[in-house]
């Protein structure tokens, strides 16, 4: 997919959605938008290259959890992840974020926690 607004939108108040194996290049907003979604949305093995704003947006994500794993976000103009309002239970695992703001933007009430293997 190329030259879209949000390459993928998981619409408002949806749950149990899977978004996988997509490639979006040069879209004019976010790579994927999970804004205002409900529980158990999963995003994996996608490539979002050069989105005009952010790679992954969840602002806010309501009810959690959301799973974002094994994705590539390359060269966003703003940031690789956008969470401006304190989303609940978003898990970012094994993603590749490359850009001038590669670390996920998280709200002041959130934290990044490492996962240790047993």
Predicted confidence at residue 6, as pLDDT, reads: 74
Identify the DSSP state of 100. Answer: T
Mean pLDDT of the chain: 79
Predicted confidence at residue 60, as pLDDT, reads: 76
Q: Tell me the H-state helices in 2-94.
A: none
How many CB atoms neighbour CB 74 within 10 A?
A: 18
Distance CA 27, CA 51 (A): 5
3-state secondary structure of 92: strand
Predicted confidence at residue 117, as pLDDT, reads: 44
In sequence order, the 6+-apart residues with CB closer than 8 A to the CB of 99 are 55, 73, 74, 75, 76, 79, 80
3-state secondary structure of 17: coil
Q: How confident is the model over 84-107, as pLDDT tens digits? A: 777 778 888 999 888 866 555 554
Closest by alpha carbon to 79, among 100, 58, 50? 100
């Amino acid at each position: 997919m190329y030259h879209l607004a949000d390459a993928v939108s998981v619409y408002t108040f949806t749950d149990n959605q899977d978004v996988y194996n997509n490639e979006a290049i040069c879209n004019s907003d976010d790579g994927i938008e999970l804004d205002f979604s409900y529980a158990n949305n999963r995003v994996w093995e996608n490539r979002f290259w050069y989105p005009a704003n952010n790679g992954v947006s969840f602002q806010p994500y309501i009810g959690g959890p959301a799973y974002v794993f094994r994705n590539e976000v390359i060269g966003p103009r703003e940031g690789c992840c956008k969470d401006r309002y304190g989303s609940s239970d978003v898990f970012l695992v094994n993603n590749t974020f490359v850009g001038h703001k590669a670390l996920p933007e998280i709200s002041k009430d959130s934290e990044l926690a490492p996962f240790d293997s047993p």
